Amino acid sequence: AKRAPSVTHVLRCAAKRLKEGGVDSYRLDAELLLMTVLGWSKEDLYRNPEVVLQAPQVEGFKSLVSRRVRAEPVAYITGTKAFWSLDFRVTPDVLIPRPETEHLVEAVLDFIALRSDPCRILEIGTGSGAVAVCLAKECARAQVWATDISAAALDVARELSLIHI
């Protein structure tokens, strides 16, 4: 009888498939996709390497790995992207928040720190709302507005864009 696959086994197989598919961050992507299927944290993966996956979990994971091999971004597959230590909801209707954009948040916060007057911020083209939400969270004295021409993007941002604050 064929033995049911463990967390370690499916991660190893998925990482190999992703690497062969040309995915640079193959190990990390495999972990993120398995975390999504299982509803686990990264710590859970490492604490439970021998846990055996059930057939629906294996099939769901294979499906996500196939999407990633076809060059679909992990953030669109999982529906979330970490930005400024927060998890934001993302869909193909918005751009994925990039680590480089955190420099923009830092620059605005540095600028605001030099000012004593009331602060009003308008983000045009908010997408997921990541920049506006982070600025509002980090600067309580700021009034922050965010807008976008895309109704679909505004729907994503309206969900507060935040999974966890």
Quick: pLDDT tens for 118-129: 899 999 999 999
Question: CA angle, corner 122, sides to 120 and 128, nearest 5?
Answer: 130
Backbone angles phi, psi at 20, to 5 degrees: -65, -25
pLDDT at position 161: 47
Provide the 10 A C-beta neighbour count for residue 30. Answer: 27
What are the tens digits of pLDDT across the range 12-54? 999 999 999 999 999 999 999 999 999 999 999 999 999 999 9
Q: 99-108 contacts: CB < 8 A, separation 24 or more? A: 101/130, 101/131, 104/131, 105/131, 105/134, 105/135, 105/138, 108/135
Model confidence pTM above 0.85:
no
